[in-house]
Amino acid sequence: MTSVPDIERQQEHQRRNLRQSIVLLAGIGLLLVIATAIVWGLPGAVMTAAVLAGLFVLAPRVPPEAVMRLYRATYVPAGGSDQLSSLVDVIAHRAGLPSRPRLYVIPSMTLNAFATGSPRHSAIAVTEGLLRRLTLREISGVLAHEISHIRNNDLEVMNLADVMTRFLQLLSYVALILAALNLFAMLSGEQVVSWWTVLLLYTAPAISSLLQLGLSRTREFDADREAAGLTGDAIGLASALRQLESDTGHFWEDLMFPVPGRRVPQPSLLRSHPTNDERISRLLSMHGQPQHEPIVIVEQPMISLVGLGPIEMRPRYRWPGLWY
């Protein structure tokens, strides 16, 4: 039995995405405008508003290939004999996507996966660490989760959140510079800018993550439910979430020095998912419900898709922060 949502449910999902995009833009935008107005006055606030408008228009139009180049991702050709390509083919067909997502592997030992683009032109990236540490059954659940995001057109709001959070990270650097200037000015009994302004700029990424957390809950639960239906295996995705638990960062890591260095790669929305315990509990409650027939998976040794030998976990600088 198919688990593809009916047209009415998809339309409601799209309407919710639109509302979330507006709330996200308004909330983070207001934070940015206030912060820049305090530091640079009215001209700074006007310039920030113009930049935000540009991000709103341009962010959804960034080609998936450009995002993958930022991560030095390796393209996995479609139609190959490898296990991953076959899984993407099957799940994309079950999801009824107008075109198959392009698959990439990122040379990083973190456990991560994300999608970018639109239903007609999308890409999915998985890390080498995820391929080495998860079983193929668990990986199929992760791929189905990302394909569900693609089908539901969640990527526009997710990419918008990612780009705006990068902009907020720049303000954290500005906060560090202003704090240093304040410390030097204190020697002469002066103050360059209010310490409250410094605090606001420094905590801006964390505030943004809290906002994203409130917006992401329903979207993530929907993607989990549909992923379980597409693979016919809710247990596989639940098991993958247990493995990912230790590698998923939290919003308070945005406060740790150096800002915005993170132990998890972008996109930033990955740090503001609902708690894995709650997601796992919901998935386990779905076990045995009507859905697609389980995908037949034969576990085989996973061969590295980005090179042989161990991968060194050295942080590489990617504007505007440290990515692993």
Q: Inform me whether the pLDDT recorded for 3 exceeds 80.
A: no
Query: pLDDT at position 97, please?
Result: 92
Q: Inform me whether the pLDDT recorded for 18 exceeds 80.
A: no
Q: Inform me whether the pLDDT recorded for 130 exceeds 80.
A: yes
**pTM, entire model:** 0.74
The torsion angles phi and psi of 89, rounded to 5 degrees, stand at: -60, -50
Query: pLDDT at position 256, please?
Result: 54
Q: How far apart are CA 110 and CA 134, in angstroms?
A: 12
Query: pLDDT at position 123, please?
Result: 95
Q: How far apart are CA 162 and CA 92, in angstroms?
A: 25
Strand order in the sheet with 102-106: 74-76, 102-106, 121-127, 113-118
Can you tell me whether residue 153 is helix, strand or coil?
coil
With respect to residue 11, please indicate whether it lies within any of the assigned structural domains. yes
With respect to residue 66, please indicate whether it lies within any of the assigned structural domains. no
Give me the helices (H) in 98-194, please.
Answer: 128-133, 136-151, 155-186
pLDDT over 90 percentage in the chain: 13
Task: Give kind and range of the element (H or E) at residue 22.
Answer: helix 7-58
Helix axes 7-58, 155-186, angle to 10 degrees: 40
Look at 95-99, 114-118, 308-312 and tell me which has the smallest mean pLDDT. 308-312
Query: pLDDT at position 295, please?
Result: 81
Helix axes 7-58, 195-231, angle to 10 degrees: 140
Query: pLDDT at position 320, please?
Result: 47
| pLDDT bracket for residue 214 (50, 70, 90) | low
| pLDDT bracket for residue 308 (50, 70, 90) | very low
Tokens read off for 11: 């339309």
pLDDT over 70 percentage in the chain: 73
Query: pLDDT at position 49, please?
Result: 79
- The catalytic position among 146, 156, 220, 226 is 146
Q: Average pLDDT for residues 30-35, to the nearest whole number? A: 77
With respect to residue 200, please indicate whether it lies within any of the assigned structural domains. yes
With respect to residue 179, please indicate whether it lies within any of the assigned structural domains. yes
Q: How far apart are CA 149 and CA 312, in angstroms?
A: 31
Query: pLDDT at position 273, please?
Result: 59
**Of 167, 211, 200, which Cα lies nearest the Cα of 51?**
167
Tokens read off for 195: 């310490």
The torsion angles phi and psi of 2, rounded to 5 degrees, stand at: -75, 150
With respect to residue 70, please indicate whether it lies within any of the assigned structural domains. no
Query: pLDDT at position 93, please?
Result: 92
Q: Which domain holds residue 283?
A: 7-61+140-150+157-294
Q: Average pLDDT for residues 43-69, to the nearest whole number? A: 81
Q: Inform me whether the pLDDT recorded for 194 exceeds 70.
A: yes
Query: pLDDT at position 7, please?
Result: 64
Contact 276, 245 (CB under 8 A): yes
With respect to residue 267, please indicate whether it lies within any of the assigned structural domains. yes
Q: Average pLDDT for residues 97-101, to the nearest whole number? A: 93
With respect to residue 118, please indicate whether it lies within any of the assigned structural domains. no
Q: Average pLDDT for residues 58-74, to the nearest whole number? A: 84
Give the model confidence (pLDDT) of 268-297 as tens digits: 444 445 677 888 888 888 866 656 777 877
Between 157 and 284, residue with greater pLDDT: 284
Please give the tally of structural domains in the chain. 1
With respect to residue 266, please indicate whether it lies within any of the assigned structural domains. yes
Mean pLDDT for all residues in the chain: 76
Give the model confidence (pLDDT) of 232-262 as tens digits: 888 989 999 888 765 555 545 555 555 444 4
Query: pLDDT at position 248, please?
Result: 53
Give the model confidence (pLDDT) of 229-240 as tens digits: 899 888 989 999
Q: Count other Cβ atoms within 10 Å, centred on residue 196.
A: 9
With a CB cutoff of 8 Å and minimum separation 6, the contacts of 322 are 258, 260, 261, 262, 315, 316
Can you tell me whether residue 71 is helix, strand or coil?
coil
Task: Give kind and range of the element (H or E) at residue 113.
Answer: strand 113-118
Q: Average pLDDT for residues 26-45, to the nearest whole number? A: 78
- Is 253 one of the annotated active-site residues of the chain? no
Query: pLDDT at position 84, please?
Result: 84
